[in-house]
Structure 1
Amino acid sequence: MILKKGVLFCALLCLVACGGGGGGGGEEPEPEPRPQATPPSAVALIFPENNTECTEGTVVNENISRIPFQWTLSENTDTYEVVIRNLDTNDESTFVASTNEADISLARGTPFEWFVISRANGVNETATSPTWRFFNEGPGIENYAPFPAQAVAPQRGSFIDFTPTFVLIWEATDVDDDLESYEVFFGTDPNDLPSVGTSDVQEIEVDLTAGTTFYWQVLSVDSQGNTSTSELFEFRVN
């Protein structure tokens, strides 16, 4: 009888030590990983159209009109940022929209460029549309100044290998399609750029020096004498 009690005591002790009686001492399963959010895609711009005069919208007063900006919906996008830059002053403004349109008030008789950034909640990656340019119609304007020229080659901020000469290439457009000539200013001092000549095509050859940073600007002139000056472009020669 004593032996049976001892055996019974050992059995109970073993059961408690091994977690018997229910409870289950196994490891908890790892949580399933959260699905990653998908980056957004870029939109296609619709209106105002590229390189045109915008004559639609609501005239607020002599100086301001409200323009109905439109673009396509893009996949995996929660919000859209409409970025608009005044090409006369280089001032930039951003407007947020949850759909593919926004009424935005802008100065009349002024050139602008715009693009749209697509954003998705929980994702750092964004998508950016192409950039379009337009003139917002102004009172009494019969002929518009050209859009400021844009650098094509070399690209702004680029590095190029040394060659004795290089052909600067730019792109310029005009609503009235009456561009006539371009004066190019080129040199190493951004505050004092000498003219290197006038061209009736959108390119000009310049001399280079190795290990030097160069700056250049383009003055576009149309048939009515209207002008526009590009931004200051720069590049480095290795």
Structure 2
Amino acid sequence: MKSIYNILSFFLFVFLVSCGGSDPGPSTPTINNPGKSVLIAPASGRTCEEGTNTTTTQSTVSFSWNSASDTDTYDLKITNLNTQEVTTQTGITTTMKDVTLTRGLPYSWTITSKNKGTTTTVSDTWKFYLAGNGVTNYAPFPASAVSPLPGVVVTPTNGNVTLSWETSDVEGSALTYTLYFDTIDGKQSPLDTNKNLTTKSKAVAVNANTVYYWRVITSDGNNISTSVVYTFKTN
């Protein structure tokens, strides 16, 4: 009888173990994507951001923005629009940051929201001029490419590609554009038909399987600004 009891106990133990399942352990918490920051200052299109002068050539600018949901830290990216030099401040845990910049130049800035997840969220881009000594008229913001985007491969339409760009003038002056377009460096003498344009786009004739370079000089009648050189390739 004792032997039968032991056998039954053994099979009952095996049954309970086999049906018990494994411990799933703690569940992984869901990480929401960080929210999009709303920029506050310097204001977009501001013509004369004073900052706090630290030297005859530099000023400290206070950047501020609204807090974003599900965000642990912020990255501040500032771009010198004349040289495309980028200044980045990372791991910011507040919603403001002071940065020292060169005076008399145009800048753009963005805020990137981050958390422990792999997704980041970038704010809108705002532009401003940091005041210089005795500046009474500011050059337009340098043009930025809208289409084609830099480095893309483009399929021409009837042998043409339409170039378009974006720019603005903080003083609201009427703007004209000169388009430089070539297969060398984007700095060769422009065609007469590409001078004194009044719209922010121009259709250009292209060949297949060719790399093209282009840039735009923007004028408000008193000052000019020059974009960086953009490239694209045709199919």
> Fold-level match, TM-score > 0.5?
yes
1:237 maps to which residue? 234
Which AA in structure 1 matches 2:113?
S
> Which residue of 212, 219, 222 maps to 2:220?
222
1:14 maps to which residue? 7
Query: Partners in 2 of 1:132 and 1:55 — Cα distance?
Result: 13
2:34 and 2:113 in contact (8 A); partners too = yes
TM-fit CA distance, 1:177: 2.7
1:106 maps to which residue? 101
Q: Which has the larger radius of gyration?
A: 1
Q: Tell me the alpha carbon deviations over residues 67-126 of structure 1, each in whole angstroms, 9 at most, x when there is no partner.
A: 1211121110000100001122221111132122112221111111111110012x1110
Confirm or deny that 1:198 pairs with 2:198.
no
2:51 and 2:130 in contact (8 A); partners too = no
Q: How does 1:1-238 map to 2 (within 5 A)?
A: 7-8=1-2, 10-11=3-4, 13-14=6-7, 17=10, 25=17, 26-96=20-90, 97-121=92-116, 123-162=117-156, 163-190=158-185, 193-196=188-191, 197-201=194-198, 202-224=200-222, 226-238=223-235
Which AA in structure 2 matches 1:219?
I
Q: 1:52 to 1:200 in 2, by over 3 A?
A: farther
For these two proteins, the number of residue pairs brought into alignment is 226
TM-fit CA distance, 1:16: 6.7
Query: Which has the larger displacement, 44-53 or 196-205?
Result: 196-205
Q: Which runs of 5+ in 1 are unaligned?
A: 1-6
Query: Which has the larger displacement, 127-136 or 191-200?
Result: 191-200
Which AA in structure 1 matches 2:217?
L
2:82 and 2:227 in contact (8 A); partners too = no
Query: Partners in 2 of 1:58 and 1:151 — Cα distance?
Result: 32
1:57 and 1:67 in contact (8 A); partners too = yes
Q: Which runs of 5+ in 2 are unaligned?
A: none
Query: Partners in 1 of 2:203 and 2:119 — Cα distance?
Result: 40
How big is the alpha-carbon RMSD for the aligned residues of Structure 1 and Structure 2?
2.2
Query: Partners in 1 of 2:84 and 2:77 — Cα distance?
Result: 12
Which AA in structure 2 matches 1:198?
K
Query: Partners in 1 of 2:148 and 2:187 — Cα distance?
Result: 20
Instruction: Tell me the TM-score normalised to structure 1 length.
Output: 0.84
1:173 and 1:179 in contact (8 A); partners too = no
TM-fit CA distance, 1:43: 1.1
Percentage of matched positions with identical amino acids = 31
1:146 and 1:179 in contact (8 A); partners too = no
Query: Partners in 2 of 1:65 and 1:192 — Cα distance?
Result: 33
Which AA in structure 1 matches 2:214?
W
Which AA in structure 2 matches 1:184?
L
Instruction: Tell me the TM-score normalised to structure 2 length.
Output: 0.85
